[in-house]
Amino acid sequence: MPLSKYFRLEALTLIAFLATIPIYSPNHLLFETGVFDVPTFMAPFANTMLFSTLVLGTLAALASGRRCPERLLGRGWVVAGVAAYLTGYGLLIAAAALPGVGTGAVGALSGFLLAAGTVELAVLWGSYMAAYDLRQALLWCALSVGCAALVGLLLSSTTFGVGLIVFVVLVLASFPVPCLAAWKRPRGGARPGDLGGGAKAAGAASSVQEAAESPAPTRRARLASLASVSGMPLAGLMVFAFMMGARKFILFDVVNMELLGCALGAVVALPICLLRTSRPLTTLIYRMLVPAFALVLIVLNSFPGTTMPMFFAAWLTYVFYGAVAILALASLAAVAHAREFSAGSVFGTAVAAFALFSLLGLGCAPTAPFQEEGGGPALLVVSTFYFVGVIAAALWGFWRAGAGERAADDGLGARDAGAGADAPAQSVQARCEALADEAGLTPREREILGYLGRGHGIAFVAATLVISESTVRTHVKSIYKKLGVNGREELLAKVDEG
């Protein structure tokens, strides 16, 4: 689907949600200039909010399983989530603007209500953004995160009164679009934000059909599949949350690098959605681009602490984590787009993980290893471990491909030279479509057959469709059975015969 197709201006209200989402600590800068005593109010507020988000996000992920994937998109949940969000922010604003309101109890109550609203709105926005494939989601996430960071920089530099008015407007603009989309969704129909109407509704129906046809995996198997398809994005999001909680860096004592890093990270991430490559985009991102950026930071961090390269690395690290967070959000939207996992499962897990590592970061921030000049040696150790992990994961992926892992997966690998190997891709696709019609394949099986017919292996298909390899194998077995073949060679021969 082209990037320009189905352009919807209202989707840019995601900027308002990201600029005000309370689990991201820089969004609290405006309120720290309020009339309440900051330690008395903010500690109960932040701790209660993050812990509640961890618990409620986990419950949301568990509640949005295979049997009830769209439970949190129901109208009752939408109303309750919005009411909690507005009430929580109402208490926070009253505490910041009115003397005597900012007590610890009010802070804790505000934090709990905002946690409940944040989890619900994160799922709603995730379901809305799941209408886009990876390239489109990356475009929207880069634009939204970059603009939200710029809004945060403006709010942190303005007066409290003006900033508060702008913040209230942003809060009111942060929820109507995904909530109205969920409210209008027919029961059992397309997801909020789905594009193309009937085609997407048909896709939703096909997902139900495929779920009914396939055996229900165990909870452990589903967790393993979710980890395999979203592990790298979630890891990036968790390290981002930890670093933003543990490290505060004001560039030239003026600019908050947490916000500037996200703005510059958007500039770095945005061109990726325009790249054209024969590799799956997820492979390009997590095996090449992110590891290359991490390698540059490892080299820069090896210089002495008083040198220019080390200073450059200090602020470039924020740009790296900003870009990683954007790529993570886009990748998670693509995971939900693939329909293997519901938006509640994906984004409930994401907000819970973000809250957990924000808590860990805030807890580590006051300790000695995180307080020394330059942010403390512990932060450098954490970053280095993540950089090395990213590079190691990329090397492992390349090793698997080089060792012929894709060829070994159920006998599926690169297409052998033969009668139909040099046929035009359009001709192969047409023959695959004809076979799919004849065998009555589901839309997902039809899609996978097209890749198999062109000689791609399971790993390639999984990375391209942003689904787990185990799910691809399940579909491949079903395709074999419906086409009456016993393996790769017979499948390719059948495709060549048309």
| Structure tokens given for 215 | 């055996």
Give which of 349, 342, 358 is closest to 59, Cα–Cα. 349
Query: Are 12-185+219-400 and 408-497 equal in CATH topology?
Result: no
CB 375 within 8 A of CB 317: no
pLDDT of residue 141: 94
What kind of fold does domain 12-185+219-400 have according to CATH? Growth Hormone; Chain: A; (1.20.1250)
pLDDT of residue 191: 57
* pTM > 0.85: yes or no: yes
Query: Residue 354 above 90 pLDDT?
Result: yes
Question: Cα Rg for the chain, rounded, in angstroms?
Answer: 24
Looking at the chain, the whole-number percentage of residues with pLDDT higher than 70 is 84
pLDDT-derived band at 379 (thresholds 50, 70, 90) equals: confident
C-alpha distances out from residue 204 to 143, 340, 375, 386, 443, Å: 28, 11, 48, 37, 10
Dihedral of the CA atoms 249, 252, 255, 258 (nearest 10)?
Answer: -20
Is residue 88 within a helix (H) or strand (E), and if so which, with residue range? helix 75-97
Query: So what CATH class is 408-497?
Result: mainly alpha
The residue with tokens 């949301």 is 60
Query: Residue 120 above 50 pLDDT?
Result: yes
C-alpha distances out from residue 415 to 283, 342, 418, 448, 489, Å: 20, 33, 9, 15, 9
pLDDT of residue 59: 95
Query: Residue 373 above 60 pLDDT?
Result: no
CB 315 within 8 A of CB 90: no
CA distance linking residue 39 with residue 104, whole number of Å: 9
Q: Give the three-class secondary structure for 434.
A: helix
CA distance linking residue 205 with residue 191, whole number of Å: 11
Query: Residue 17 above 70 pLDDT?
Result: yes
pLDDT of residue 359: 93
- Start-to-end CA span in the chain (Å): 27
| Structure tokens given for 358 | 């924000």
C-alpha distances out from residue 309 to 305, 306, 317, 399, Å: 9, 9, 12, 32
* Phi and psi based region of residue 193 (left: phi greater than 0; alpha: psi -120 to 50; beta: remaining): left
pLDDT-derived band at 6 (thresholds 50, 70, 90) equals: low
Residue ranges per structural domain of the chain: 12-185+219-400, 408-497
Angle at the Cα of 197 from the Cα atoms of 194 and 200, rounded to 5 degrees: 60
250 - beta bridge partners?
Answer: 256
CA distance linking residue 24 with residue 459, whole number of Å: 35
Give which of 466, 465, 61 is closest to 228, Cα–Cα. 466
Mean pLDDT for the stretch of residues 83-89: 97
Residues in Cβ contact with 249 at an 8 Å cutoff, skipping those fewer than 6 apart: 257, 258, 314, 315, 318, 375
C-alpha distances out from residue 233 to 84, 142, 143, 159, 329, Å: 29, 15, 18, 36, 7
Query: Residue 155 above 70 pLDDT?
Result: yes
pLDDT of residue 424: 62
Least confident of 22-36, 83-97, 121-135: 22-36
Residues in Cβ contact with 83 at an 8 Å cutoff, skipping those fewer than 6 apart: 117
CA distance linking residue 452 with residue 420, whole number of Å: 13
